[in-house]
Chain A
Amino acid sequence: MTSAAPFLTVSGLVVRYGAVTAVRGIDLRMEEGEIVGIVGPNGAGKTSLISAVAGLVAPAAGTISFNGRSLENIALEDVVAHGIALVPEGRRIFASLTVAENLLLGATARRDREAVPADIERVSDMFPILRERRRQPAGQLSGGEQQQLAIARALLSRPQLLMLDEPSLGLAPMIVDQIYAHLRAICGQGVTILLVEQNAERVFAVSSRIYVMSGGEFSLSGSAEEIKRDSRFDAAYFGVHMREAAGGL
């Protein structure tokens, strides 16, 4: 028995935007070292859920604690120092800044500044294109390269928990293969990953546990095998594949 505090605990989380309730009482637990996937159709509340964990939106109710410490009343810019990094939907790289500057910004919250150059080398080994383009404005990168930059930038904070919102959105299947291979490798280095995707197949392939979200709630949870066998899954997911066929938008 270890007495270690639970890694991430979300309980009774409610997120509201004005009159709209996006998340209706979610409970989520994560253990260190696992990859957890949250899948669900557009508008299910997935982004709201991880936005709350990242400090981007204040929960209307419920608690979030990380390594035993509550994230309540923590300023947005302090969340990263607790070990939580976000790769947001749409990547949100700084298009007018160079690749190198984007990477450097990823290390903003770190105290051990002297170790940052070595870490930049490390992520550049993982994503060689970033080394090649380090002096270029990030806006000139292709979508896949931008996604790599967004992940590398998040890694530079040396997170314990890496959250990714729709990392495959708008990318060619071959590029998505690479991104997912990297996610496995990153997890192998001891980073816990929370993955949000509409693209359920991809998530099933890498996640140890899956939550299916619809209408602001988890409708199903379990291993990929359990979820695939569950007849309710298709119902929760109806229509998503048509959207994917239309380009994932």
Chain B
Amino acid sequence: MERVVQTLVDAVSVGSLYALTALGIGLIFGVMRLINFAHGELMTIAAYTLLALVGLPLPVMLLGAMLVAVVLALITERAAFRPLRNADPTTLLISSFAVSFFLQKLLILLVGSRLKGLDFLPGLGREIQLVGVRLQLLQIVTIVVGAVLLVVMTWFLKATRLGLHMRAAAEDFRMARVLGVRANGVIAMAFALSGVLAAAVSCLVVAQTGVVQPRMGLQLVIIAFVGTVIGGLGSLTGAALGGFLVGAGSILLQALLPPELRPFREAFVFIAVALVLLFRPQGLIPARGLRERI
């Protein structure tokens, strides 16, 4: 019984991380039709910021990581993506790879490619007793942070003016602009929010793994991207759900598969993805208004 609960908590916590990552990707895709693989580098840089700020008070480290990720997100938008705003999605995708590689190589140049240990939030590593089950505190914190961010994000999108503009822009950007919605503002906000999400995920991942390395973000992003696709590209609820399912699914597979098949758990995840796309190519929660922009 304890094992079952532990596995479920593990699955939900990993699922939350991927849900947040997928949401960050989904936000940008929603307003720009850009699949931003450089989202991973936002996480990586946030992690290196933590490394650079070691020794300072925790709030300073967290705020620093967040600030750097947000500023970097805004810089990539301004420098790389704004000039291509009306380009087709393929061009945008390729340029996001370029930004991703550029930042990755830049980091390697500056700090080297070797992974570095970072004992971040060691207090979260201990186990606690919750209703008779031993659980790692970090997993609980991850789930709570994930839930809080999802709630705050939902509130922002549903209850604020800018949130309304973002939802309108995600459905039909040109019509939103005809009504006076400011394209630059909406897109910058989406990038800033994706930076916040990337930093949050990064802090949790570093606390979990205890290491920082230049390629850490990309791997997360690829899996999370798969999540946004099965959730339904362009739908934020779909992205969060898809990310969660992929993350949680891979943990559950790890627990449920016979030991000799465990090395192939990713293959099973991707088979599931292929099946979803075969039977529901528009994703689990399809987006409305994925119209061609004239």
Give every chain B residue within 8 A of A139 (Cβ-Cβ): 288
Give every chain A residue within 8 A of B174 (Cβ-Cβ): 56, 76
Give every chain B residue within 8 A of A92 (Cβ-Cβ): 172, 175
Q: Is B33 interfacial (CB-CB < 8 Å)?
A: no
CB pair B176 A97 closer than 8 Å: no
B180's partner among A56, A94, A157 (CB-CB below 8 A) is A157
Q: Is A185 interfacial (CB-CB < 8 Å)?
A: no
Which residues 172-198 of B have a CB within 8 angstroms of A? 172, 174-183
Q: A54-B178, A56-B174, A80-B178 are in contact. Are A104 and B288 (CB under 8 A)?
A: no
Residue interface mask A42-56, B partner, CB < 8 A = 1? 000000000000111
Give every chain B residue within 8 A of A80 (Cβ-Cβ): 178-180
Segment with Cβ contacts to A, from B21-29, B99-107, B162-170: B162-170
Give every chain B residue within 8 A of A209 (Cβ-Cβ): none
What is the size, in residues, of chain A's interface with B at 8 Å between Cβ atoms? 25
CB pair B167 A96 closer than 8 Å: yes
CA distance A109 to B177 in the complex (A): 10
CB pair B288 A95 closer than 8 Å: yes
Q: Interface size for chain B: under 10, 10 to 19, 20 to 34, or 35 or more residues?
A: 10 to 19
CB pair A105 B164 closer than 8 Å: yes
CB pair A96 B179 closer than 8 Å: no
CB pair B171 A95 closer than 8 Å: yes
Residue interface mask B143-179, A partner, CB < 8 A = 1? 0000000000000000000001101100110111111
Residue of B nearest to A81 (CB): B180
Give every chain B residue within 8 A of A95 (Cβ-Cβ): 171, 288-289
- Within the complex, the shortest CB–CB distance from A28 to chain B, in Å, comes to 20
- Within the complex, the shortest CB–CB distance from B294 to chain A, in Å, comes to 8
Give every chain B residue within 8 A of A76 (Cβ-Cβ): 174, 177-178, 183
Could you say which of B172, B178, B180 has the most chain A C-beta atoms within 10 Å of its C-beta? B178
User: Can you name 16 A-B pairs with beta carbons within 8 Å?
Assistant: A55-B178, A77-B182, A80-B180, A81-B180, A86-B178, A88-B175, A94-B167, A95-B288, A96-B288, A101-B167, A104-B164, A105-B176, A105-B179, A108-B165, A153-B179, A157-B180
Additional pairs, 5, CB under 8 Å, beyond known A54-B178, A80-B178: A56-B174, A81-B180, A88-B178, A96-B171, A109-B180
